[in-house]
Every structure is written in structure tokens, then in C-alpha cells.
Amino acid sequence: MPCREACGACCIAPSISRPYHGMPNGKAAGERCVHLDEHLRCGLFGDPRRPRYCASFLAEPAVCGDSREQALHTLAELEVITLPPANLHGRVV
């Protein structure tokens, strides 16, 4: 499916753990990427500095749903269920 106009959910909901252009500490889940423009479009689209995660993301109905709100919700849920497990001392194992 083509990306929904004025959505940007994939630039907000997921975390990106590796540093990338403009975000030297990566991006926390729910944090807006600095490259998301006023029209909710990626300013790094087609740029080699765009994170690999972003370049590999494909919009699809199961993830994006019928609205921007559904996409934000689904991507936030996916973020949580794909977190690595933590041991009893709070360290990732």
C-alpha cells in the first residue's frame, strides 16, 4: 500500500537504537524524528543517511490500519512486544 498522506507514524512510534544523521543517540519510541517535516514526510527519504530500519519499512494494512491513529497504536504495540526480555536486575539478556 502507498504511505498515507500526513501520517508519519513510522517516524514517531518505533525506537531506533543506532545513531543516525541528526540524531546521534538514536530515537526513543514515541519520539518524533528530527527529519519529519511539517507535512509529516521524511526529510531523508532517498538519502543514504536514512536509517536502515526506515528504508526497509513498508507500509501495509496490517500495520498502518485505516488511519494515522491506528498506525501509531499498532506500531507502539509492536515496539513493546518486540522489546528484548530483561532479567531480574533490569539488564537486557
pLDDT tens-digit profile, the chain (93 residues): 889 999 999 999 999 999 999 999 999 999 999 999 999 999 999 999 999 989 999 999 999 999 999 999 999 999 999 887 765 555 554
- Is 71 part of any domain? yes
Report yes or no on 3 lying in a domain. Answer: no
Count of structural domains, the chain: 1
C-alpha of 82 from chain center = 13
Question: What pLDDT is recorded for position 93?
Answer: 45
* Residue 93 belongs to a domain: no
Q: How far apart are CA 14 and CA 33, in angstroms?
A: 10
The per-residue pLDDT for 28 is 95
Q: Is residue 39 part of a domain?
A: yes
User: What residues make up the domain containing 54?
Assistant: 9-81
For residue 27, tell me if it sits in a domain. yes
Residues 64 and 75 sit within 8 Å (Cβ to Cβ):
no
87 in any annotated domain: no
pTM above threshold 0.85: no
Within-domain flag for 28: yes
**Amino acid 41: pLDDT:** 94
